[in-house]
């Protein structure tokens, strides 16, 4: 079977991933979508931390549940994993609320750190698809213009990003109609109609992020690969340390399917990223 004949996982397959319950669930706000699920490792504390951001094309129908197996697998690798929920298109995620939720969820780790022995010195943000957009944004949100509602001077620092098939270049995504209706809602319109929103909410507009980034994309995930390469060109030009890892014969969902070979690449990349940034903080 050649690459073009490979049977790829679908969105329906993704939605059927098994539910894996967390160790704890905490609300970071009053809305029903403002919560996170914490998965803890069996290893000795303090625990390195991953903020895990699910995707789903920014749409309300896709929640955090399919990422439960990923969260548990990464907890088995020694990480405390904060799998966050947030408002999306269709349940209150119109601009700026999706971003404010993601930021508030990340910052809520400060309230959980002592209780669960979390090491917040070198947090990784890991996101899939639309969640990859937010994972990148979390690393750069402190650079948003001060006049923006997204600006947060004291935001939780992110040590590095692992973006899994991310919608990384938001302007380019609008141009190519990736998740067009939902993306326009969470961004408050297109770039020409809402320039200030893109200046604060697009990772490309916040470059350089100043943090190492690894992007893992399946070779069969054509539109996302094009988008990521567009973003990476801008990131390299801005001076960021970035890496593109191409997963052969893989589409959009295999990299978050814990039984797929591509997920081994994800685990290895995350562990390597953690080791690299931890070494940097110890120097």
pLDDT value of position 274 = 93
Secondary structure of residue 88 in the 3-state scheme? coil
Distance CA 10, CA 16 (A): 10
Q: Are 123 and 158 in contact (CB under 8 A)?
A: yes
Q: What is the pTM of this model?
A: 0.96
pLDDT tens, position by position, for the chain (283 residues)? 344 457 899 999 999 999 999 999 999 999 999 999 999 999 999 999 999 999 999 999 999 999 999 999 999 999 999 999 999 999 999 999 999 999 999 999 999 999 999 999 999 999 999 999 999 999 999 999 999 999 998 899 999 999 999 999 999 999 988 767 999 999 999 999 999 999 999 999 999 999 999 999 999 999 999 999 999 999 999 999 999 999 999 999 999 999 999 999 999 999 999 998 877 665 5
pLDDT value of position 283 = 52
pLDDT value of position 277 = 87
pLDDT value of position 177 = 84
Domains of the chain: 3-282 (3.40.50.1820)
CA of 178: how far to CAs of 54, 82, 86, 129, 227, in Å? 17, 27, 20, 11, 9
pLDDT value of position 188 = 96
- Which residues lie closer than 8 Å to 55 by C-beta, 6 or more apart? 62, 127, 128, 129, 130, 131, 132, 165, 167
Q: Are 154 and 145 in contact (CB under 8 A)?
A: no
pLDDT value of position 202 = 97
pLDDT value of position 178 = 77
Q: Are 76 and 66 in contact (CB under 8 A)?
A: no
Neighbours of 270 (CB within 10 A): 22
């Amino acid at each position: 079977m050649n690459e073009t004949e490979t049977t790829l996982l679908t969105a329906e397959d993704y939605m059927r991933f098994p539910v894996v319950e967390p160790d704890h669930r905490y609300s970071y706000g009053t809305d029903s979508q403002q919560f996170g699920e914490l998965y803890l490792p069996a290893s000795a504390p303090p625990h390195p931390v991953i903020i895990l951001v699910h995707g789903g094309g920014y749409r309300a129908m896709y929640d955090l549940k399919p990422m439960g197996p990923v969260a548990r697998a990464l907890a088995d690798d020694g990480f405390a994993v904060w799998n966050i929920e947030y408002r999306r298109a269709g349940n209150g995620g119109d601009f700026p609320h999706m971003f404010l939720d993601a930021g508030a969820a990340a910052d809520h780790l400060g309230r959980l750190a002592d209780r669960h022995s979390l090491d917040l010195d070198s947090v990784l943000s890991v996101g899939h698809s639309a969640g990859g957009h937010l994972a990148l944004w979390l690393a750069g949100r402190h650079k948003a213009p001060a006049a923006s509602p997204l600006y947060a001077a004291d935001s939780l620092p992110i040590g590095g990003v692992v973006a899994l098939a991310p919608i990384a270049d938001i302007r380019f995504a609008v141009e190519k109609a990736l998740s067009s209706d939902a993306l326009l809602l969470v961004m408050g319109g297109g770039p020409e109609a809402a320039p200030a929103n893109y200046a604060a909410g697009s990772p490309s507009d916040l470059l350089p992020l100043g943090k190492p980034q690894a992007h893992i994309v399946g070779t069969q995930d054509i539109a996302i690969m094009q988008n990521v390469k567009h973003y990476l060109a801008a990131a390299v030009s801005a001076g960021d340390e970035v890496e593109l890892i191409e997963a052969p014969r893989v589409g959009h969902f295999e990299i978050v399917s814990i039984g797929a070979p591509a997920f081994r690449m994800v685990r290895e990349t995350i562990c390597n990223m953690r080791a690299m940034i931890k070494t940097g903080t110890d120097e």
